Structure 1
Amino acid sequence: MVATLILPGLNGSAEGHWQRHWARDNASSTIVRQASWSRPALHEWLQSLEGELERVGDAWLVAHSLGCLLAAHIATRPAARHVRGAFLVAPCDLERTERLHPGVIDFGEMPTDRLPFRTFVVGSRGDRYMDFVRLRRYAALWGVKLHDLGHAGHINIESGFGQWRQGYQLFSSLTDAPGRRAPKGTQPQRVSRAITASA
């Protein structure tokens, strides 16, 4: 069975968050622990993720907020060979997140490289951590599909996302898709037609 590594964002995912439910619902899931949830440092978070990928071998990544940027940054590291695919929910914009939480985040720059593994992004039009227009731009840069969840806040406890059943269905669209990884050097996938039409 392929492992699922769950990547929370700033301050971790509190009890009741959909990521916590997923960790309990799926015996093959593990929350990747970080030394500091409240003061994220990219090099430390990468080391933790790389260690888990080396331990479990091939894995799906299920990330939220800053955890999505962690997943995108792993793409340029050797450990990316273990990533079967990534399910990125409500990626945050570093500039905006740093304004909301001044002086606590050391996460470098926004990742902009095309992702070498299958990826499915779920975004919201009402997310204070990422403007939807900017999210579409990053999805295009990453070469990934983008699903518009509408005005759903930051897709967290505050916006009503506890045991998120629809999320399992969206995740299965990633895990059930044919093929394993996007070949390097190919053209980026088109962003979801539904997103373009409703923008």
Structure 2
Amino acid sequence: MTPTIIIVPGLGDSGEQHWQTLWQRKFGAERVRQDNPEHPVAEVWAARLHEVIEATPGELVLVAHSAGVATVAHWAQLSSGCGDLDRVRGALLVAPADPEQSGLDTLHPQLAALAPLPTAALPFPALLVYSENDPYCTPERAEALAEAWGAAAVSAGEAGHINVESGHGDWPDGEILLSEVLHAWTPPDVVRF
């Protein structure tokens, strides 16, 4: 049986043309909707993710973007020992926003509410996709997060924040990576394409 995809958006809830929204429609995915999608609070956003996970039966694959990646990391830490962790077959973590990165206070100061990011290994397989020129996270930090979380790291090249503004409405390369996560592929530590 194919796992259910749960979309975990970042700030602004990923708009109508964002690949997460397109995937939600295309794959019949569930979606985490935060009460205040512009102002994250780590525990509140993690609790909402937990509610969606509890309400969704069967095996799951989490698909997170930007601040949604931090939400997944916080949820995993806060849910340590929870049976729901066992139902997560894998996670696709795309373009993490680093709330500890200097200079983000001018881009999105509200991201600071997600700091510090948990650095414990995730209790499920994960694939972290990062961009070489993402204004919200350096490649070095993305690779360090992947290593800490026990995730494989994949560079998407110079892909901006891997969102609509960087030309990633429909994201076919992402669908290939999602397919790998759905089929429990175990990638090497760092892949570049």
Structure 1, unmatched stretches of 5+, are 180-188
Alignment correspondent of 1:36? 36
Q: 2:100–2:112: 8 Å Cα contact kept in structure 1?
A: no
**Aligned AA (1:112):** T
Q: Residues of 2 paired with 1:135 and 1:148: CA distance?
A: 9
Alignment correspondent of 1:149? 156
1:23-102, aligned counterparts within 5 Å? 23-27=24-28, 29-57=29-57, 58-76=59-77, 77=79, 78=82, 79-96=84-101, 97-102=104-109
Q: Residues of 1 paired with 2:40 and 2:185: CA distance?
A: 35
User: 1:16 and 2:17 equivalent?
Assistant: yes
Task: For residue 98 of structure 1, report the CA deviation from its aligned partner.
Answer: 4.2
TM (normalized to structure 2)? Answer: 0.88
Q: Deviations over 1:83-142 (max 9, x none)?
A: 221100001111234452225652241120111101011110010000111111111111
Percent of aligned pairs with the same amino acid: 37
Q: Residues of 2 paired with 1:139 and 1:48: CA distance?
A: 24
Q: Residues of 2 paired with 1:178 and 1:148: CA distance?
A: 17
Moved over 6 A (4+): none
User: 1:107 and 2:114 equivalent?
Assistant: yes
Task: For residue 6 of structure 1, report the CA deviation from its aligned partner.
Answer: 0.2
- The verdict on how the C-alpha distance between 1:152 and 1:17 changes in structure 2, with shifts beyond 3 A counting, is same
Q: 2:99–2:111: 8 Å Cα contact kept in structure 1?
A: no
Task: For residue 2 of structure 1, report the CA deviation from its aligned partner.
Answer: 2.3
The counterpart of 2:125, out of the listed 115, 118, 126, is 118
Alignment correspondent of 1:183? none
Q: Residues of 2 paired with 1:17 and 1:139: CA distance?
A: 24
Alignment correspondent of 2:170? 163
Structure 2, unmatched stretches of 5+, are none
Q: Residues of 2 paired with 1:114 and 1:61: CA distance?
A: 16
Q: Secondary structure at the match of 2:153?
A: strand
Q: Residues of 1 paired with 2:176 and 2:93: CA distance?
A: 14
Q: 1:140–1:190: 8 Å Cα contact kept in structure 2?
A: no
RMSD value, Cα: 2.0
- The verdict on how the C-alpha distance between 1:190 and 1:23 changes in structure 2, with shifts beyond 3 A counting, is closer
Q: 2:73–2:117: 8 Å Cα contact kept in structure 1?
A: no
Q: Residues of 2 paired with 1:94 and 1:66: CA distance?
A: 8
